[in-house]
Amino acid sequence: MAVQTKKIKQLENGNYVDNSGNEFKSSEWANVLVPKKLKWTRGDYIVGLQESIIQLSKLGLTGEQWNVLAYLMGKTDFENYIHITQKEISEHLGINISNVSKALKVLVEKEVIKKLKRGTSNYYLFNPEIIYKGKHKDFDNVIDLFRK
């Protein structure tokens, strides 16, 4: 059984193989540069579907609309809910609140997000066919909710 040692792999016979396929005998000295491994130490993540992200690039969004979209991606909660106010988006991005409202309207029209209401509060649902945050077993339910 091979053992993984940083960026080189130790073979059963004791020799090593680097990422380029070069084999080194265990008795040879080799200078190996090992890049520092990046660790994801904090924060949540979302799954983005590559083809859908390519399709987003074809929507003709303005710079401010892209900024709002990126911020919404970062604020997407489990099962793709986005609980955020226009004021919060405006303050964080430094965008006029009326432009935030217009950007959200465009994203709703282009079916990137869906606007929902609970009482007097608005919230949004991110299209799960673009990005998804949640359990695999809940994916179909979120798609159904978005399509309603």
pLDDT tens digits, one per residue of 48-96: 878 888 899 999 999 999 999 999 999 999 999 999 999 999 999 999 9
- pLDDT above 50: residue 3: no
Q: Which residue has the tokens 């991005």?
A: 93
Taking the model in full, what pTM does it have?
Answer: 0.68
What's the pLDDT band for 108 if we cut at 50, 70, 90?
very high
Same domain? 66 vs 122: yes
pLDDT tens digits, one per residue of 15-59: 766 666 776 665 545 454 445 555 656 667 778 878 888 899 999
Of residues 17 and 106, more confidence is placed in 106
Long-range contacts of 6-14, Cβ-Cβ distance < 8 Å, separation of 24 or more: 6/32, 6/34, 7/32, 7/34, 7/35, 8/32
For 7, the domain range is 1-27
* Domains in the chain, number: 2
Same domain? 94 vs 21: no
Whole-number pLDDT of residue 33 = 47
Same domain? 72 vs 9: no
pLDDT tens digits, one per residue of 110-124: 999 999 998 888 999
Structure tokens at 64: 């401010």
In a domain, 119, yes or no: yes
Structure tokens at 103: 């950007």
Same domain? 84 vs 15: no
What's the pLDDT band for 12 if we cut at 50, 70, 90?
low
